[in-house]
Amino acid sequence: MIGRLTKITHFDWEELESLCFVFHALTRTVPKGKMLRKDFIEIMHSALDMTNTGNVDYSYKMYDLNNTSYISMEDWCRGLSVALRGTLDEKIKYCFQTYDRYGETCLKRKSLIWMVTENWKVTPESDTQVQVEELLEMVSTGIAADSEKGITERDFSKAVTKYPMLLQFLGEVLPPRPAVHTFLSTMLPRARPYEYCPDYRTEREPDPKPFRAFGSSGSQEVVHRLGGRNQVARTPSVAVPQAGADF
């Protein structure tokens, strides 16, 4: 499986081994090799700082592509490949399909208002609600070729390609950049700076402080933080070694 995944993801063999190790450790308490929806939401919150439960819940379908009601080890690696290191085109597709909550292949005005209201915590009675509707009317009119039909994936792709800031204008469905950097620095310490976001390279920020691991692996520390079992015995903190040391 790992050999096949090296050809269709943005991870190399060693990195995939680390991700598979974490997946295996996190799914010990459920049917073998299956990550359930509730576990996925908790993991994304704890490991990648995705705190909006509603958005994480809807992004679940981008991992469970076969609609099996659980995420397999292969699903996990493929999903993280896009979320952590995806190209702009991959992330456009990921975000649009997450926003398209009902599989209508377009984002209609009613859905747009509902998503923005939910993410911005706007109450229907507030004056802000009117402002939100006016703003969305302006944005959707500028993006959609046919405002009556709604925003199609093609419309969304053209708009985001021109204005990347629109990628998550309906709510964050991808991990925030600092969380991605920290996760990759811990799990995949050999990763090159900003390799995970080639379309958004800027001046390099200071490297984050690595996690301090109990035992011999950064992977094990992530498992420990997320409540995985069979953790290594706690010993004095040591710097995280190169990923894949456990294999």
pLDDT of residue 143 exceeding 60, the answer is: yes
Greater confidence (29 vs 227) lies with 29
Taking the whole predicted model, whether its pTM rises above 0.75 is answered as: no
Greater confidence (231 vs 68) lies with 68
pLDDT of residue 150 exceeding 80, the answer is: yes
Three-class DSSP category at 206: coil
Sign, Cα dihedral of 100, 103, 109, 114: negative
User: End-to-end CA distance of the chain, in Å?
Assistant: 16
Task: Please state the rounded mean pLDDT for residues 76-99.
Answer: 94
| Amino acid (one-letter) located at 58 | Y
What pLDDT score was predicted for residue 154? Answer: 93
Nearest to 153 by CA among 196, 198, 103, 84: 103
Residue found under tokens 């984050």? 208
What pLDDT score was predicted for residue 124? Answer: 56
What pLDDT score was predicted for residue 159? Answer: 92
For the stretch 165-183, pLDDT in tens is 889 988 899 999 989 988 8
For the stretch 45-81, pLDDT in tens is 988 999 888 889 999 999 998 888 999 999 999 999 9
Strands 238-239 and 106-107: unpaired
